[in-house]
Structure 1
């Protein structure tokens, strides 16, 4: 990506952001609207149709028709795969516009939007497109008098609700396996970042997905999200977001048709650095990158640095130095390393966590203050605190911002106990040169993913999801198809 800040700014000025719902293959304006405000400078990007129960009904009805009588679930799996690959090709053609839209609506640096977010979306669409015709049913050996068949069939209409921090990556993780399985989808993006999802839906229709197969409705959680969660026409609900909202979706399922609910929720991920780490400088640099990437607005962010007392000051100082040098600013500048937080309300919430930790006895090593003044955006200096009390809010609650809490330990059992002392269990990191330690600690950590001598690495072949209050089910990999399919047994007497 060789575009300059001026190039992106000019492109942003010319970008036409459409705010209509996408239902049954076409735009649907609806009635009420809401404003999408850019955290970059506080300007209104677009007025977007605000879905109520009526619009959700229309979208679910379209998805229901497409599933019950339309061609999509009846296509040969190879044909669905080819459709997903065509979809990916058109996304590639519109990659710059999609990346720019993400950057404008949620503040991600445009280089990260283009090189990370869109790369992940494209990889997901292509991976499931290629997987679609490579799944096999089973015929278990039973008795000579019978033939048993076990088929995996698409579940039906999928409601997918995704947050604003990775609006296209997480949408792709839901819709790609659901579509590959033969399901139809109603996607509700966050009201803070609906524009990229609405553009994605239009591209899907241009790629030839039949009407009703992928619908997108914009609106807030208490209205549109609730209507989708309660809707009896939705067979499966897949949600990524906060643990508090995840509880609501479980209640909606209980109060409606007992739809299956798959949850990928919050995290308070520990990153353990031992003195025998193969490269302490790399461990420190990765710790800093992990918490400040995407403004720290990442459920897997290694927000708790657990470092052995023998190397604690060396590691902490290296992270602090990196935080001070980090380039924070305009997300449309390709040189920017960290953009604004999603909005002023979230900025104040994150600052409240910092103030509360200091009041509880933590030491603020760097950051904590907003910047730069006068931009209208929601920018915060990367923040590092040590001497954080183990029972404090900062040590236990998800901040979802560029705030690192540093904790020291003297032995491995203490480190594991600290790491597991949270309601969450999404991810964890471990740095050691000892193979036995790597295996033993990885097994002891209650987390869905454990990275050893790295962080945030992997590909589509491996599943992603959490334990404890970080949720259930898995995105990515062939395991994701388990969420969107039912097993049917046919027993034939011979």
Structure 2
């Protein structure tokens, strides 16, 4: 039997085992079997990584590098990513079960994130202040924060790393990244490109392992100035508590229970395909998954015919196969959680139209059928809690005000979809829906130019766009006295 590959951590420009030499297994969701070992970090490793990042932040190789030069490095990293799409897509698919066709398409687009931020590098500007004291010249400038921490989840490890890494680096920070223990390998493979691009040692550091072992020491470390986290509410609450120790700034991109709303004037075919993309794309393992479908009662039956007929044809299969449309969920724990939610949905009176079980033809791995529930009321766990799997809840509505109330009646506020040919309605609802992202006549669209983030239990802060670069900087105000006159009374504020 072929020996499993071992991955070490990356600290201060070197590949290194953990302080105690321990490794843990990473599983291939398509087979349910381990496929590699990953170094199991400790608090000592966190200390090494954070100190390396802090030293690099003050080292002239990085601190004195011009913003234009940093932009060149980031553009080179984007070029290297573009050259290695095929290989990285395979690692990501093997590590978390996402379709190879999705990963190739996603990673082909991802260099745009690095190019976008590279273009912003020498446009991080301060401003001259029209101060009300004629002998003073006053200006502001933006400076990097220092050491930042990025903690990424298992469902989209590379994308959700890039959206943190690019603005953090272009602003001049150094970074320590902690990927999910369920999907670390693709990031470690990508790190070879960071090394090849020529970033100085210590600017980017990767610590792998379990949150219970290293999370607290990482997020409360006194050298850490900012924590960017994507994941679950429980971990987010721990991070918020830990930030009381170092007053680190936070951005939290958490869960969602996003509504997809289809009005009777919508293009029903497009809306049905958008619904499928929203909930069954990525096997439903997306923070923005459109897991609640609200259908206007006038088109309810017609729409459901279109939707069900297409979902019935979805091909469940090996994510490495080019014609598979749904692969496995990423972890066994997640599969079992989805099964419990389906049982709860039945107990709560939901009508199961499709799916609801593991597919019989996939004997290995962690697969679950695309599942559709019909509900007469918006209540219970399955319609209000994030399932993070291919489970759709469908409910009818008749009036605009009614559906706004239903759509907003969760603890989450990350994303929403609106399907209508009435542009006025699209504008009205996009303002009134409590969501950080609203898509009208589309779903799951991304761009480095557009910020993402949510409200309520979906977190706070934004990633993407110019705004996120500013979030990785702080303003400094500089006063210059242009007068040569003697100082006046030193006991009076000027």
Tell me the TM-score range normalised by the shorter chain: over 0.9
2:163 is aligned with 1:182: no
| Secondary structure of 1:149's aligned partner | strand
**Partners of 1:199 and 1:209 in 2: CA distance:** 16
**Partners of 1:275 and 1:74 in 2: CA distance:** 59
**Partners of 2:182 and 2:225 in 1: CA distance:** 26
Contact 2:142/2:475, CA 8 A, preserved across alignment: yes
1:126 is aligned to 115
Aligned counterpart for 2:475 among listed residues 487, 490, 493 = 487
2:401 is aligned with 1:420: no
**Cα distance 1:82–1:15, how it changes in 2: closer, same or farther (>3 A)?**
farther
1:274 is aligned to 263
2:304 is aligned with 1:306: no
Q: CA deviation at 1:120?
A: 4.1
2:445 is aligned with 1:446: no
CA RMSD of aligned residues (A): 1.6
**Partners of 2:60 and 2:325 in 1: CA distance:** 46
2:273 is aligned with 1:257: no
2:38 is aligned to 48
Aligned counterpart for 1:460 among listed residues 448, 451, 456 = 448
Contact 2:5/2:37, CA 8 A, preserved across alignment: no
Aligned counterpart for 2:233 among listed residues 243, 266, 269 = 243
**Partners of 2:148 and 2:181 in 1: CA distance:** 19
**Partners of 1:292 and 1:192 in 2: CA distance:** 21
Q: CA deviation at 1:17?
A: 4.7
1:285 is aligned to 273
| Secondary structure of 1:441's aligned partner | helix
Contact 2:11/2:48, CA 8 A, preserved across alignment: yes
Contact 1:388/1:394, CA 8 A, preserved across alignment: no
2:355 is aligned with 1:355: no
**Partners of 1:365 and 1:270 in 2: CA distance:** 19
1:163 is aligned to 153
**Partners of 2:361 and 2:340 in 1: CA distance:** 19
Q: CA deviation at 1:147?
A: 1.5
Q: CA deviation at 1:344?
A: 1.9
**Partners of 1:82 and 1:248 in 2: CA distance:** 37
1:33-432 to 2 correspondences below 5 Å: 33-116=23-106, 118-143=107-132, 144-254=134-244, 256-277=245-266, 279-373=267-361, 375-387=363-375, 389-432=377-420
Greater Cα shift, 135-144 or 192-201: 135-144
**Partners of 2:205 and 2:446 in 1: CA distance:** 30
Contact 1:219/1:225, CA 8 A, preserved across alignment: no
| Secondary structure of 1:391's aligned partner | coil
| TM-score normalized by the length of structure 1 | 0.94
Q: CA deviation at 1:16?
A: 8.5
**Partners of 2:360 and 2:185 in 1: CA distance:** 26
**Partners of 2:3 and 2:175 in 1: CA distance:** 27
**Cα distance 1:77–1:14, how it changes in 2: closer, same or farther (>3 A)?**
farther
Q: CA deviation at 1:322?
A: 1.8
Which runs of 5 or more structure 1 residues have no equivalent in the other structure?
1-12
1:398-437 superposed Cα distances (whole Å, 9 cap, x missing partner): 0000000001111011100000001111010111122221
Q: CA deviation at 1:15?
A: 12
Work out the number of aligned pairs and report it: 479
**Partners of 2:306 and 2:218 in 1: CA distance:** 46
Greater Cα shift, 418-427 or 215-224: 215-224
| Secondary structure of 1:164's aligned partner | coil
Q: CA deviation at 1:388?
A: 5.4
